[in-house]
Structure 1
Amino acid sequence: MFHVFRLGYVEFNTRNIEALKNYYNEVMGFTLVEEGPDGSAYFSSSTDHHNIVLNPSSVSAIARFGFQYKSDAGAKEIVKELAKLEIKAELKTDTKPGVSEVVEFTDPDGYQVQLFSEMSLASPGFKHSGIIPNKIGHLSLRVDSAKRSVEFYGKLGFTNTDWIEEFFGFTTCNTDHHVLNFFTSPQKGGMHHLAFELRNYGHLTHSMDYLGKNKIPIIWGPSRHGAGHNIATYHYDPDENMIELFTDADKYVKELDCFEPRPWHRDNPQKPKVWKTDDCISQWGTCFEKALV
């Protein structure tokens, strides 16, 4: 069997490749590692060959995302394991720099998912200018049914950690409160938001100042969410993808089915549960004009 343990990269198609390259290089503080002959660009946060991939295109949309897994079995065996789970997958080789082979499949909402076991290291380290997040924290997707998506990714070993009523499901494959979450949305498909983890609240306030200097407005936040308890802010990238910057998120202890205790938890212990929308959006009772929909 195999164990998926982290979100490795997210890939975007974009109509405005230069603007998005500038955003990830100058604003987010990622390092441009490599450019392809087709104009694609590979950005690393610190050690991986890439964590963000940008492809020039006639449309702007999320293209695919990749999870790293660990297994004693080879990729061909992973394809067979997925077939037993009624997931039709395909082994592909040399599809992109830094990853020699991926196991690729399409989820129930049409999102293209890649599983990889190894990625070459670029090791540019953390830059000294820009927002400079620790890592990609989580990806949130619009789906037809959050319940169906939570069940599907459960086959890959993801654990359901929280709900906002019945329309928003949180899942994790490691100790982070959520790595992948799903929003039952009337809008057909597309990313809801991509989140980057910051070091602390000081880093978050510095990042908001940096966005302000770059004339990128904050559309929501800062405030502390309920599910996950992360202190979060949101803004749009040049393609109007919603980007979350967050810190202070809950850590999940699977063996105890609860979260590490924090002073701001209102439940003791804090366990996975179903939240009401008003209780979950802001634990500080903060109201904002822009809704996160």
Structure 2
Amino acid sequence: MVRVFRLAYVHFGCTDVSAMVRYYTEVLGLSLTEEEGGRAYLSTAFDHHNIILSPSSEPGLKGFGLQLAPDLSAAEAHAALQRMGIAAEMKADSLPAIPEIVQFTDMDGFEVHLFSQMEATAPGFRSEGIVPNKVGHLSLRVRDAKRSVEYYKQFGFVNTDWIESFFGFMTCNRDHHVLNFCTSDRKGMHHLAFELRDYSHLVRSMDYLSKHEIPVLWGPSRHGAGHNIATYHRDPEGNMIELFTDADVFIPELNMFEPRPWHETIPQRPRVWGTDECITRWGTAFEEALV
């Protein structure tokens, strides 16, 4: 098995890189660390990059990078993938700040990078914009969520919750989910989520989106699986972006989540949720309005 411990970066293809850079810097509050070969690299605070934007005639998710556990080198990960029957390629200096990556395509055609080291340029948190803590999780539309969940267990991911049988949540650390998979008839990203500090940060972020004339699609409301308080909007290329806070913390040794007053059971353990009870615990509906 190849063990990873975090989602480090997400790569988007863009029809207008400049517009996306403006959104990720001026609205989300990330730092532009480098522009090279038409690509832009942006950081939440510490890493050289957590978002990659590259020119493309087809906008949307291109791939993502997972950081390997500290005791595993890129070369060792490459050898392990070969033994697992996963075709992979070692690349040196193909991305700035990362000496080596192991690149492969997963069962749904997403490009995945594994790496052990990334230069920490440490631009720090900015004072303008939403300024999230980090990239929190990535949600993918796949052919078969159950099959994808089993596939990613090979990389140290653990299944934490389900929405019925079509939406699986997985973690490789103590976050409730780092990746999740939604059975769909089309491939692509469902959403990318950024973690905020607390509920007041979330409210300020909604005001900031309004200032930039970006409508909120849904929320804030508390989900069931993960119990995160979440809102959703779209970036300039139509990618759905979640801003969230207050997500469950997983204790793998006990197969439970740290207790919270709003949990349905104590202890709260991984479970299968019904769709209606999972989407919102507050009854927040897409269709209803005050007037």
**TM-score (norm. length: structure 1):** 0.96
The one-letter code of the counterpart of 1:236 is R
After superposition, give the CA deviation of every residue in 1:109-137 in whole Å (9 maximum; x if it has no partner): 00000001000011110000000000000
Shift of 1:58: 1.5
Distance 1:137 1:73, change over 3 A: closer
In 1, Cα distance between equivalents of 2:67 and 2:77: 13
Say whether residues 1:281 and 2:269 are aligned partners: no
Superposition map of 1:96-111 within 5 A: 96-111=95-110
Number of the residue aligned with 1:151 = 150
Shift of 1:85: 2.1
Shift of 1:2: 4.5
Superposition map of 1:187-202 within 5 A: 188-202=186-200
Number of the residue aligned with 2:212 = 214
Say whether residues 1:261 and 2:259 are aligned partners: yes
Q: Which SS does the other structure have where 1:209 is aligned?
A: helix
After superposition, give the CA deviation of every residue in 1:36-76 in whole Å (9 maximum; x if it has no partner): 0x211000110100000100121202111001112434322
Say whether residues 1:223 and 2:227 are aligned partners: no
In 2, Cα distance between equivalents of 1:279 and 1:17: 38
In 2, Cα distance between equivalents of 1:68 and 1:107: 16
In 2, Cα distance between equivalents of 1:62 and 1:96: 17
Contact 1:142–1:182, Cα closer than 8 Å, also in 2: yes
Tell me how large the CA RMSD over aligned residues is.
1.1
In 2, Cα distance between equivalents of 1:52 and 1:139: 12
Number of the residue aligned with 1:9 = 9
Shift of 1:86: 2.3
In 2, Cα distance between equivalents of 1:73 and 1:67: 12
In 1, Cα distance between equivalents of 2:251 and 2:165: 23
Q: Which SS does the other structure have where 1:211 is aligned?
A: helix
Number of the residue aligned with 2:269 = 271
Superposition map of 1:87-236 within 5 A: 87-186=86-185, 188-236=186-234
Shift of 1:147: 0.3
After superposition, give the CA deviation of every residue in 1:97-120 in whole Å (9 maximum; x if it has no partner): 011110111110000000010000
Contact 1:66–1:113, Cα closer than 8 Å, also in 2: yes
The one-letter code of the counterpart of 2:65 is G
Shift of 1:221: 0.5
Q: Which SS does the other structure have where 1:120 is aligned?
A: coil
After superposition, give the CA deviation of every residue in 1:167-199 in whole Å (9 maximum; x if it has no partner): 00000000000000001012x211000000000
Size of the aligned set, in residue pairs, is: 288
Contact 1:140–1:194, Cα closer than 8 Å, also in 2: yes
In 1, Cα distance between equivalents of 2:192 and 2:47: 18
The one-letter code of the counterpart of 1:49 is H
Q: Please say which of residues 58-67 and 251-260 is displaced more in the overlay.
A: 58-67
In 2, Cα distance between equivalents of 1:257 and 1:85: 27
The one-letter code of the counterpart of 2:13 is N
The one-letter code of the counterpart of 2:16 is N
Contact 1:146–1:182, Cα closer than 8 Å, also in 2: yes
Contact 1:193–1:241, Cα closer than 8 Å, also in 2: yes
Contact 2:174–2:251, Cα closer than 8 Å, also in 1: yes
In 2, Cα distance between equivalents of 1:48 and 1:20: 19
Percent identity reads 60
Shift of 1:267: 1.1
Contact 1:141–1:183, Cα closer than 8 Å, also in 2: yes
Q: Which SS does the other structure have where 2:285 is aligned?
A: coil
**TM-score (norm. length: structure 2):** 0.97
In 2, Cα distance between equivalents of 1:73 and 1:115: 10
Contact 1:3–1:71, Cα closer than 8 Å, also in 2: no
Q: Which SS does the other structure have where 2:155 is aligned?
A: coil
Number of the residue aligned with 2:24 = 24
Contact 1:259–1:270, Cα closer than 8 Å, also in 2: yes
Contact 2:33–2:41, Cα closer than 8 Å, also in 1: yes
Gaps of 5+ in 1: none
Number of the residue aligned with 1:77 = 76
In 2, Cα distance between equivalents of 1:218 and 1:258: 32
